[in-house]
Amino acid sequence: MTERLYYADSYLTEFDATVAKIDARGRVALDRSAFYPTSGGQPFDTGTLGGLRVTDVCVEGGEVWHEVEGALEVGQAVHGSVDWPRRFDHMQQHAGDHMLAGALYELTGATTIGLHVGPEISSIDVDMPRGETHLPQEWIDRLENLVNARVQENHPIRCWFPAPEELARLPLRKDPTVREHVRVVAMGDFEMVACGGTHPSSTGQIGPVKIISAAPARGKLRLSFLAGMRAWRELQRNYERAHAAARQLSTGVEELPERLAAALARLKDAEFELGRLRREHLLDGAAEMLAGAEALPGGARLVCAEVGADMAGLRELASRLIKDGSAVALLASAAGERRDLLFARSADVDLSMSALLKRAAEPLGGRGGGKPDFAQGGGPATVLAAAREILRRGERP
């Protein structure tokens, strides 16, 4: 069994040990180790062992196993060195989890059922008393305020292995998952729970704790958060983003929401006006299109055109083209591989537009349907030319 040096001192980064075992995969077990193995939602430590990079650490059968880049020998004396910035970051996230879980339990009676310290964000999964999977913003604020106040009050954090009789008397937030060698962590007088993880020695070192989302996950509530330098860096990033956005609008960050809302309102008005002008322009062109129309064998006028408009615009234009009688309009939107297609005819033209559209589009991979006088669909631009040829030949589709 590896003696776990981080139990007694989570600040220990340099240690000397002896290689006790090497398994078939070349993983190394020591007589004692300060390397934290992935467990309880906290990721493993990295660093060096005998000068070799440690790339993974896990716990199996009571031993802490180190994966190293290179070979060591059983009995070899090695010096271990733990990557402190990574470890301390994990300590901040992990202790931040305790603070949130403890405060949420106090405020709502919720039970925390899982913790995950990710490379960027950390999260806790919470079983809420009435099965809620959302947390109102007001509660998030209360939770954050309570946790960050306790961080600033800099309460001591203590870890120890109580004797069974002491353990039985301790007001733990939830029952331990192990029966023997139960390690307890206590933060001030507000959080006490069994835990084998690494923690700073006081709450002030956790730094700011910021909840970044409270959303349903696997039927429970998942709180995602940042603690310590992660929260600080996020504050810096958001400060820069907010100022960059404010500069674009030539305003200060304080006025940003109002100025943005006003700019979006102007944009909406402008888009509406642009749409109106485009339609007007399109309809103004209808007379010119009819003047340049070709005569079909039956005498009707044929307008066949690609038009810079969506389906609604095509419909409006087609209605205008066929309004005065004796006209056929074959229209396609102007951009993209698959175009909107709209075929329409005046009431006095005896041709089926739905049949024409089907016949012209289907061999080209397009499709469409509708009524004899008004049909719509989609397909390549070549459908227009195919339909025009059918009508030019005087065929009845």
Instruction: Note the residues at the interface with Zn ion (CB under 5 A).
Output: 185, 195, 197
**How many angstroms separate the CA atoms of 49 and 72, rounded?**
9
Q: Which is nearer to Zn ion, 99 or 318 (CB)?
A: 99
Taking the complex as a whole, how short is the minimal distance between the CB of residue 273 and Zn ion, in angstroms?
Answer: 60
Residue showing the smallest CB distance to Zn ion in the complex: 195
Q: Which is nearer to Zn ion, 197 or 366 (CB)?
A: 197
Taking the complex as a whole, how short is the minimal distance between the CB of residue 159 and Zn ion, in angstroms?
Answer: 8
**How many angstroms separate the CA atoms of 87 and 125, rounded?**
23
Q: Which residue has the tokens 């009050």?
A: 153
**How many angstroms separate the CA atoms of 98 and 197, rounded?**
11
Taking the complex as a whole, how short is the minimal distance between the CB of residue 112 and Zn ion, in angstroms?
Answer: 11
**How many angstroms separate the CA atoms of 163 and 235, rounded?**
43
Radius of gyration of the chain from its Cα atoms, rounded to whole angstroms:
36
Q: Which is nearer to Zn ion, 44 or 343 (CB)?
A: 44
Q: 3-class DSSP state for residue 161?
A: coil
> Six-digit token pair at 122?
């950390």
Q: Which is nearer to Zn ion, 98 or 388 (CB)?
A: 98
Amino acid occupying residue 317: L
**How many angstroms separate the CA atoms of 167 and 185, rounded?**
12
Q: Which of 33, 26, 44 is nearest to 8 (CA)?
A: 33
Taking the complex as a whole, how short is the minimal distance between the CB of residue 173 and Zn ion, in angstroms?
Answer: 11
Taking the complex as a whole, how short is the minimal distance between the CB of residue 236 and Zn ion, in angstroms?
Answer: 27
Taking the complex as a whole, how short is the minimal distance between the CB of residue 93 and Zn ion, in angstroms?
Answer: 10
Q: Which is nearer to Zn ion, 47 or 102 (CB)?
A: 102
**How many angstroms separate the CA atoms of 53 and 316, rounded?**
70
Pairing of strands 47-49, 77-82: antiparallel
Q: Which is nearer to Zn ion, 115 or 314 (CB)?
A: 115
Centroid of chain to Cα 332: 38
**How many angstroms separate the CA atoms of 143 and 6, rounded?**
30
Q: Which is nearer to Zn ion, 72 or 147 (CB)?
A: 147
Taking the complex as a whole, how short is the minimal distance between the CB of residue 194 and Zn ion, in angstroms?
Answer: 9
Centroid of chain to Cα 49: 37
